[in-house]
Amino acid sequence: MKNSKGLTLIELLTGLVVLSLLVGLLAFSLRMLFLPPIHPYPREAISFYQLRSLIQGLYPYLIRHGDGLSFFFSGSSEEVVFVSGACLMSEGLCRIRIWFGEGALHLQELPLYSGKIDYLNPPKEGGKELVLWDDLRGGSFHYLIDGQWKDAAEGRFPSAIRIRFEDRKGKRDFYFPVRVDFYEKRALAQGALHEEF
């Protein structure tokens, strides 16, 4: 055998593989060192999911209104109040109030069925509160009714709800479809009212 001072091809390739692994580990370590931590579910994504669940769980709830019954839904540019079957902090049906105030988007959830609650006249105070979005500069609600965006909806379910707010990232709009067939439920309610009263 000859006594050679060079490297064989296998030794060269093995060295390149080991060197590339070390460079890859070093690059990954430096990236993790200088980048901020990445949360798997950012707070905005969780808040968006919670809003979507509540609004899509909107329930056609009848309440006493004068001498008759009407659907429980009230929306203005500052707040929206409705009954949802997709509660976040309790089970069953709950009264949901979402409003802008004190630089944040707030949520109030109140269960409808308990020993102290008259389910035909849902209470307006009490329940659990949660801040969905904070550090806001302003915001408003808008309702899609008969193909047009309006600033208020009373006793009538819109086709969609738009939540518009401004934060440090600028103005943003979020659109949430309402999945209640208002006209079918209204016909059922009128039929029931006609038969019983």
Model pLDDT for residues 129-152, shown as the tens digit of each residue: 888 888 888 889 999 888 889 998
β-partners of residue 142 are 162
Q: Quick check: 70 pLDDT over 80? A: no
With a cut of 90, say whether residue 42 has pLDDT above it. Answer: no
* Lowest-confidence region among 36-40, 86-90, 127-131, 183-187: 183-187
pLDDT at 131: 84
pLDDT tens string 73-98: 888 989 998 888 888 777 778 888 88
Vertex 108, ends 102 and 111: CA angle to 5°?
170
> Model confidence at 193, in pLDDT bands (50, 70, 90)?
very low
Q: CA 133 → CA 6, 31, 58, 158, 180, distances in Å?
A: 66, 30, 21, 23, 26
Band of the pLDDT at 41, cuts 50, 70, 90? low
Sequence-ordered list of residues with C-beta below 8 angstroms from that of 126, at least 6 positions apart, any chain: 110
pTM across the whole model: 0.66
Task: Give the C-alpha separation, 107 to 134, whole Å.
Answer: 12
**Chain centre distance of CA 36:** 25
